[in-house]
Amino acid sequence: MLLMVGLGNPGPQYEGNRHNIGFMAVDEIARAFSFGPWTKKFHGEIAEGMIDGRKVLLLKPLTFMNDSGRSVQAAASFYKIAPAEIVVFHDELDLPPGKVRVKLGGGHGGHNGLRSIDAHLGKDYRRARLGIGHPGSKERVNPHVLGDFAKVDREWLEPLLSDIARHAGALAKGEDAVFMNKLALATGGSQEPAGAKGAAPAKPAAAAKGQSHIRQARQGGKPSLPASGPMAGMLKKLFGGD
């Protein structure tokens, strides 16, 4: 069994936060693959299903971010799931909005959810880092991650969540590089963030009137909101449905 974990904070006051993009990702996977209903277990909510022939357990810890490891360890211990068979979706300040990186192991980078999982399981699990961008200064980090996505963010957030679910089969097969390449093709560009090793330095661009810096990160036509399913209500609340 593969364990896919989405990190976030429980409760309606947090559901639209950038910090909760991990919850959003596993919710969309559950919808796309018609997983069973969410039930409470292992200090969290779980749903079971199949992705490309592999049994997968989805988990959303309800322990609040700082104690996420307790929930993940409980589920992994019960099903005897090795750390390498755990994929954790989480927000990443050090990636531009809409960019995704998957890696095995590594540091927590100040992310309290990862810090907690490291303490309970060690570092040898897979991390799916979902870029939310950095606000520019340390003092603005907490308001940024605990702030809600803006309405203009739907132009990159909705397609990203859909693409993550659509290509989750590659993650289920352990093909992390394939998963990242498919996301890059889906976005019409490279998944290599500007300024990263081997990438050309980014040139500052003037922001278009009425657009946030996040919207500038991913241009495209306005996608339609899903009409039904778990994501529909959440996205309508986030962005204001038509």
Cite the annotated binding site for tRNA by residue number: 14, 64, 66, 112
Q: Which two tokens stand for residue 226?
A: 């899903």
In a 3-state reduction of DSSP, which class is residue 35? coil
| 19 assigned to active site | yes
Which residue is catalytic, options 19, 90, 111, 144?
19
d(CA 189, CA 43): 39
What is the 3-state secondary structure of 206-231?
A: CCCCCCCHHHHHCCCCCCCCCCCCHH
Q: What's CA 225's distance to the chain center, in Å?
A: 18
Q: Which two tokens stand for residue 103?
A: 């890696």
Q: Which two tokens stand for residue 39?
A: 């039930």
> Roughly how many angstroms between the first and final C-alpha of the chain, as a whole number?
40
Q: Which residues are annotated as a binding site?
A: 14, 64, 66, 112
One-letter identity of residue 169: G
Residues 6+ apart with CB under 8 A from 136: none
| Residue that the structure tokens 């779980």 belong to | 46
> Which residues participate in catalysis according to the annotation?
19
